Structure 1
Amino acid sequence: MTVLIGVARRRPPLLFTLLGLAVALVSVCVLAVSFGSVWLPFGQVWGILAEPIAPWLVEVTWSPVRASIVWDSRLPRVAMAVVVGAALALSGAIAQIVTRNPLADPYLLGVSQGAGLTVSLMMVLGVGVLGFVALPSVAFIGALAALLAVLAVAGRSGSVSVLVLAGLAVGQVCGAGLSLVLFLHAKGDQAKQVLFWLAGGMGDARWDALAIPAVVLVLAVVGGIAAGRRINLLHAEDDAATALGVNPRRFRLVMLVGVSLLAGTSVAVAGGIGFVGLVVPHAATFLVGSDARRLLPVSALLGAVFLVAADLLGRVLAAPSELPAGVITSAIGGPLFILMLLRSRRRMR
């Protein structure tokens, strides 16, 4: 990952970085809850959030309708953006480390396209009536199937370039399969609904849809930090990692299955949201370096901040309508990534 970031630099202590990102996340979440078709003052937002916890500390100056707007509409949306943004950034950071490729992310490995294909099949064929519990499971199956196909195509070469090219090929096949599903089986407005969902957004956020992605995210963060030392060994060549007691192929497969799980559950609840898993880990590396024990939690926090801000920007720019968050992340992430590539090319001259 340091290929795109540049030379080492002095960085603030990890605790300061985490506290700063936590403050930024709380601030942008409050902004996101306040803005909308009905403006809610910041004081009211804090009061509505605090009233169930400590009712003796707040004076109720808002109507039940405004409380319902916060708890039933905007807060689930913000919570989904936090979970999905953190999951995508974390999956991108893991993918970039274990493949030793700064361009790797769930989309580049075909994982997100596999999840999107299976979820789209559920939506078009009417299996989606199974509900939000089934969607993450089916998305994970699609993501894992795409990953296994990528690994099968890449074979035992051990080449990161072959792995990424296999991911691109599998992603294209999944995209073609999705197009066939829409052309052959979509009825009425189903194609429009699927395409809008693929653009990525938080418009359908519900509390009951967050349980599985949130649990997966917590387990991934804890597991990633706990395995941080072994993940760091993958920065080196496989022979060096083996000499230090790690089976690189087996461990890389386990980590990529984790990437599939994170990306699959995120796609299931929010659709396709690009560039979060690609750009955010580079920004996190700039802040704290490439040590996985520092990089993974910072990537998760930074990804949450980025996606909440992108979703808020999409609602503000197109009010009273909204732009899908995936459109905003692509519009921001694409130029940022091009700038990083140009900066890296100048340094290599």
Structure 2
Amino acid sequence: MTVLENRSRSRIHVILLLGLLATGLALAGICAGAVPLSPPEVLDALTGGPNGFVVLQYRLPRVAVAILAGAALALSGLFLQAAVRNPLASPDVIGVTKGAGLGAMLVAVLVPPGAHLWATPIGVVAGAAAVTVLLLRFSRRAGAHGTTLALAGIAIAALAAAAMQYLMAVFPQRADQAMVWLAGSVYGSTGTDVAALTVWLVVCLPGVVVCARLLDLAGLGDDSQTSLGWSPRGIRVLLVVVAVALAAGAVAAVGGIGFLGLLAPHLAARLAGRRAKWLVPATALSGAVVLSLADLAGRLVALPNELPAGVVAAVVGGPYLLFILLREARVHA
């Protein structure tokens, strides 16, 4: 067996292990709660047992949304990092999730409640897209390195957060309706949320497939891409559009889960390498694992209360961001 075949087999094993880990965490998430259930009781509930209402209406949708949103945020971070060629890029670090939250809050305070169902996703997508366009224009003009790009994203996120605070002060009652997007939690997820997020990700799937095929090419310089007959600007625009769409769908479902889009792609690259054929599925599974684990930990560490998954993810992701900033500073010193 050649070295290449050995590496391919090891990558397959990594992806299978991540899938098994995600499945195990999903089962643990269904079992855990105010009323703990054993795996046999969960199976009994799925077939109409006495705990069927709790499992089917509360725990199963929560687990499903965590898996779908985690995968979406992770892939969004991966595509953003490829688009701007910077390991610090992720939906929350560069302010995309804050922009999405601002869009959701604007809908809450300006649009009649009866129209929120269809207007909120539009507001989320518009807010996320606006922040991304601002950041990409800044990075192109300033020729920003990692630290500068992160600071620019923090500044944009701070402006969006200030705007949200203003709306909360001026429209306190109506702005409270958008707090679900700011908390970063999968608590209260329903079957409707699962269906809506699934449809959104299915719509995004063709773009994800195209971006996955272009991911290796995106790592080359602009001159190399041009010599191969590709438009560097076109590749970047496609990566950004798909990344924003994925992040917007996830934020609409679970709110601003911090640092997941930064952490999951780096974890996947360490486990499966940087070849797109392995990196993309490993990143999606890593995101599902991280968000499922954050939600499970948030439910268990503060019983009988719960910590939002976004808080748990920030506890892990914040130090990791500092590590990357220090590493980038040493590289460019």
1:173, CA displacement in angstroms? 2.1
TM-score, length of structure 1 as denominator length: 0.83
User: Residue 69 of structure 2 contacts residue 254 of structure 2 at CA under 8 Å; is this kept in 1?
Assistant: yes
**Alpha-carbon distance in structure 1 between the residues aligned to 2:328 and 2:149:** 23
Supply the distance in 2 between the matched residues of 1:329 and 1:178 (Cα, whole angstroms): 22
| TM-superposed deviation, 1:111 | 1.5
Change (3 A) 1:348 1:286: farther
Structure 1 residue corresponding to 2:249, chosen from 256, 265, 272: 265
Distance 1:234 1:164, change over 3 A: farther
Q: What is the alpha-carbon distance in structure 2 between the residues aligned to residue 196 and residue 212 of structure 1?
A: 16
Cross-structure match for 1:68: 53
State yes or no: 1:45 paired with 2:42: yes
Query: Structure 1 residues 27, 132: closer, same or farther in 2, change over 3 A?
Result: farther
The equivalent of 2:94 in structure 1 is 109
Name the CA distance, whole Å, in 1 between partners of 2:239 and 2:55: 37
Report the CA distance between 1:311 and its aligned residue: 0.5
| 1:280 Cα deviation from its structure 2 partner | 1.0
- Cα distance 1:216–1:73, how it changes in 2: closer, same or farther (>3 A)? same
CA RMSD of aligned residues (A): 2.9
Match of 1:140 in 2: 125
Which stretch of the first structure deviates more once superposed, 178-187 or 298-307? 178-187
Query: Could you say which structure has the higher helix fraction?
Result: 2
1:57 equivalent in structure 2: none
Q: Cα distance 1:40–1:167, how it changes in 2: closer, same or farther (>3 A)?
A: same
Q: What is residue 27 of structure 2 aligned with on the other side? A: 30
User: Identity rate of aligned residues, in percent?
Assistant: 37
2:287 to 294, 297, 303: 303
Distance 1:94 1:116, change over 3 A: same
Contact 2:181 2:252 survives alignment (8 Å): no
The aligned residue for residue 173 of structure 1 is: 159
Tell me what 1:13 maps to: 10
* Deviation at residue 344 of structure 1 after TM alignment: 8.0
Distance in 2 separating the partners of 1:344 and 1:121: 36
Please name the residue that 2:3 is paired with. none
Matching residue of 2:237 = 253
8 Å CA contact 2:185–2:255 kept in 1: the answer is yes
* Whole-angstrom distance in 2 between the partners of 1:248 and 1:163: 20
**1:257-303 deviation line (CA, Å, top 9, x unaligned):** 11111111111121111111011111100011112222111111111
1:310, CA displacement in angstroms? 0.8
Aligned-pair distance for 1:36? 0.5
Which residue identity is paired with 2:249?
Answer: T
In the alignment, the residues of structure 2 paired with residue 241 and residue 247 of structure 1 have an alpha-carbon distance, to the nearest angstrom, of: 7
* 3-state SS of 1:106 partner: coil
2:193 corresponding residue in structure 1: 209
Q: Which amino acid aligns with 1:103?
A: L
Q: Partner of 1:119 in structure 2?
A: 104
Q: Deviations over 1:165-204 (max 9, x none)?
A: 55444322212211111112213xx666655641210112
Deviation at 1:29, TM superposition (A): 0.5
| Equivalent pairs, count | 327
Looking at structure 2, the residues matched to 42 and 267 of structure 1 have their Cα atoms a distance apart, in angstroms, of 31
Offset, 1:12 = 5.0
Q: What residue is the counterpart of 2:77 in the other structure?
A: 92
